[in-house]
């Protein structure tokens, strides 16, 4: 039997039986949100509401009871003047996200996870959007679990936004990644009694690393200005939910999260303001179901 390790001045190489109580008992963690001692009861989403996309804002998800959604996955509009954006100020945009994240927290089950795909914005100046949102999630009482770097394969070679070519006067970093912020509600662990995980050994070893290599999705093929790859929600669903769970996307867009849920044997619920994108999502969903 391997010897248990604990917090050390010089770190440790293996952590299978690691005692980290000294680390988490330090003053660094004294003011941060802790796990709740009182866990609310899970509620059931009525069957006729499952596998639906509601054409309305997710600022009010009154169709869904408290503590009823197992996993949230979304990629909010970035407010960068795409066709569906409202050209909000940074503060207005963050307040908009805050209202929706409050609703997401309300409907998540205890231990339910919320995964948010975001990109930092601009260069003059650079806007660290993921940092703003991370702080917001802490303020709202979510428990942060980490962040995944989505390294977009095939992107860096095509970018020529050099700023000043081979000159120190104004070189510009070429964006080739986005982030997925991962948090949860009330407690880190979900009860697994009677539930089935679908992730394989190799997938678990791959997806518990903090950097994921995945290609981008073609906006022209999907007919949406900013779709993400279906691999992204598929991997999050497999890692963070059980077979038959309910997956929520408060910004359903082109329906990618719904397609991933169907492929993974989960239910979905989505919200989308644009009727055309709701129709697009429903077409993709029908095509996915017909292919089975």
3-class secondary structure for the chain?
A: CCCCEECCCCCCCCCCCEECHHHHCCHHHCCCCCCCCCCCCCCCCCHHHCCEEECCCCCCCCCCCCCCEEEEEECCCCCCCCCCCCCCCHHHHHHHHHHHHHHHHHHEEEEEEEEEEECCECCCCCECHHHHHHHHHHHCCCEEEEEEEEEEECCHHHCCCCECCCCCCCECCCCCEEEEEEEECCCCCCCCCCCCCCCCHHHHHHHCCCEEEEECCCHHHHCCCCCCCCHHHHHHHHHHCCCCCEEEECCCCCCHHHHHHHHCCCEEEEECCCHHHHHHHHHHHHHHHHCC
Q: For the chain, how many structural domains are there in total?
A: 1
Higher pLDDT, 279 or 154: 279
Read off the CATH number of the domain in which 262 is found: 3.40.50.150
Confidence of residue 136 (pLDDT cuts 50, 70, 90): very high
The three-state secondary structure class of 65 is coil
Task: Find the domain containing 103 and state its range.
Answer: 43-156+172-290
**pLDDT exceeds cutoff 60 at 3:** yes
First to last CA, the chain: 46
36-50, 100-114, 146-160, 197-211: range with lowest mean pLDDT: 146-160
Q: Is residue 20 part of a domain?
A: no
The backbone torsions φ and ψ at residue 184, rounded to the nearest 5 degrees and listed phi first, read -150, 175
Average pLDDT over residues 185-200: 93
Task: Give residue 218's pLDDT.
Answer: 65
69 falls within a domain: yes
pLDDT band at 20 (very low <50, low <70, confident <90, very high): confident
> Is 224's pLDDT higher than 70?
no
Mean pLDDT of the region 89-98: 95
Q: Is 256 left (phi over 0), alpha (psi -120 to 50) or beta?
A: alpha
**Residue 31 has which token pair?**
């003011």
Lowest mean pLDDT among 78-92, 113-127, 148-162, 170-184: 78-92
Task: Please compute the mean of the pLDDT values over residues 18-46 and round it to a whole number.
Answer: 83
pLDDT over 80 (residue 112) = yes
Q: Is the pLDDT of residue 156 over 80?
A: no
- Over 60: is that where the pLDDT of 226 sits? no
Residue 120 lies in a domain: yes
Residue 22: inside a domain: no
Taking 80 as the threshold, does the pLDDT of residue 160 lie above it?
no
Report CA torsion sign: 164, 166, 172, 177.
Answer: positive
Residue bearing tokens 């409050």: 102
pLDDT at 17: 67
Q: Does residue 113 lie in a domain region?
A: yes
Is 83 inside any structural domain? yes
In a domain? residue 207: yes
Domain membership flag for residue 21: no
In terms of pLDDT, which residue wins out, 163 or 120? Answer: 120
Q: What is the mean pLDDT of residues 146-158?
A: 82
Contact 177, 152 (CB under 8 A): yes
């Amino acid at each position: 039997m391997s010897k248990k390790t604990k917090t050390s001045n010089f770190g440790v190489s293996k952590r299978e039986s690691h005692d980290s109580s000294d680390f988490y008992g330090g003053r660094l963690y004294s003011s941060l949100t802790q796990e709740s001692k009182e866990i609310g009861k899970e509620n059931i989403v009525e069957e006729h509401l499952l596998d639906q996309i509601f054409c309305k804002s997710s600022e009010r998800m009154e169709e869904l009871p408290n503590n009823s959604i197992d996993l949230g996955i979304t990629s909010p509009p970035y407010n960068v003047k795409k066709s569906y954006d409202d050209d909000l100020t940074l503060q207005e945009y963050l307040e908009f996200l805050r209202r929706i994240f409050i609703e997401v927290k309300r409907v998540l089950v205890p231990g339910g996870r919320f995964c948010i795909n975001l990109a930092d914005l601009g260069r003059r100046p650079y806007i660290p959007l993921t940092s703003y949102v991370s702080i917001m999630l802490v303020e709202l009482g979510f428990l942060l679990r980490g962040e995944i770097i989505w390294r977009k394969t095939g992107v860096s070679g095509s970018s020529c936004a050099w700023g000043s070519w081979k000159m120190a006067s104004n070189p510009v970093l070429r964006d080739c990644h986005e982030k997925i912020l991962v948090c949860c509600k009330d407690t880190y662990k979900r009860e697994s009694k009677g539930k089935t995980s679908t992730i394989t050994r190799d997938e678990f070893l791959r997806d518990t690393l903090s950097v994921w290599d995945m290609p981008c999705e073609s906006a022209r093929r999907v007919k949406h200005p900013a779709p993400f790859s279906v691999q992204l929600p598929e991997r999050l669903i497999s890692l963070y939910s059980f077979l038959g769970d309910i997956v929520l996307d408060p910004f359903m867009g082109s329906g990618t999260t719904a397609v991933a849920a169907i492929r993974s044997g989960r239910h979905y619920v989505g919200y989308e303001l644009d009727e055309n994108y709701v129709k697009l999502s429903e077409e993709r969903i029908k095509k996915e179901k017909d292919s089975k």
